[in-house]
Structure 1
Amino acid sequence: MLPPRPTAVSQQITFLYAEDPAACRDFYGRVLGLPLVQDQGFAAIYATGGQRAFLGVVQARGPRQGREPRAEGGVVLTLVTPEVEAWHGWLTAAGVAVEAPPSANAATGITHFFFRDPAGYLLEIQRFDRPDWPAPG
């Protein structure tokens, strides 16, 4: 028999390891406008979901091995917003190369597009077009 379950997880941080963390810090802070909540020197932590979800940028110990996480396994960082088309326009104007314009996926009920950060991580901007996705808050 298991002991009582610990309290629920209340926050989440995803750490991305970059060979050039300064470029990534600029990208997440200036280009995406994520608020820096803590600079630990070796790691910069940005808020992505109020005070519940965070993204950390850390110096990598070596070069990234994979380039396509959807095929090889790995991480895709998805940022959820109702303003997918506005983000596409903003990122394009800021010189960020996006893979394709926003598209609707009827099978999953989302509208989304993909792009990469300076370290080569795949990012997605996504909106849930289905009513069963929980509202933020």
Structure 2
Amino acid sequence: MPRPNAPNTLAITFLYYRDLPTAMAFYEDILGLPLAIDQGWCKIYRICAGAHVGLVDESRGMNKWQAVKPVQLCIRVPDVDAWYAYAQEEDLANLSKLFVNDALGICAFVFNDPEGYQIEIQSATREGA
């Protein structure tokens, strides 16, 4: 049987939390992401057209919370400098210095959400990056 050929309609990356209300407050109040789908113990936030992050209560989800988080959520923005100034004011956990990666063509910084997931905010420094 051939692979279905219809275009994808939505992308969601799910992250698992012990304290869902605290995670929700962070993604809503600090990152400013709008709640797109409320499934009760799973809250799905819109990052940009077609891309979403789902915050899951680990006691109900398919996976469980883990102390080691080998996942990074990367959000590309038009003005990384403005976001970095904001991140400094918010005193975000494990906030890095603003850095440029010429090989990748980005300027970026990272920080952790309330349960240790790393978030990268970046802007492209050249076209096609």
Q: Structure 1 vs Structure 2: percent identity of aligned residues? A: 35
In structure 1, the residue matched to 2:85 is: 89
Tell me the number of residue pairs that the alignment of Structure 1 and Structure 2 aligns. Answer: 125
Q: For the Cα contact (< 8 Å) 1:98–1:113, is it kept in 2?
A: no
Q: Distance in 2 between matches of 1:4 and 1:63?
A: 33
State whether structure 2 residue 51 is matched by structure 1 residue 65: no
Q: Write the letter of the residue equivalent to 1:64.
A: Q
Q: For the Cα contact (< 8 Å) 1:77–1:124, is it kept in 2?
A: yes
Q: By how many angstroms is 1:37 displaced? A: 1.2
Q: Distance in 1 between matches of 2:99 and 2:21?
A: 31
Q: Write the letter of the residue equivalent to 2:44.
A: I
Q: Flag as ranges the 4+ runs of structure 1 deviating above 3 A.
A: none
CA gap of 1:37–1:109, structure 2 versus 1, over 3 A, is same
Consecutive unaligned residues of structure 1, counting only runs of 5 or more, are 70-74
In structure 2, the residue matched to 1:127 is: 123
Q: Distance in 2 between matches of 1:103 and 1:12?
A: 28
In structure 1, the residue matched to 2:21 is: 22
Calculate the TM-score normalised by the size of structure 1.
Answer: 0.83
State whether structure 2 residue 96 is matched by structure 1 residue 100: yes
Root-mean-square deviation over aligned CA pairs: 1.7
Consecutive unaligned residues of structure 2, counting only runs of 5 or more, are none
Q: For the Cα contact (< 8 Å) 1:92–1:98, is it kept in 2?
A: no
Q: Distance in 1 between matches of 2:104 and 2:75?
A: 16
Q: For the Cα contact (< 8 Å) 2:93–2:113, is it kept in 1?
A: no
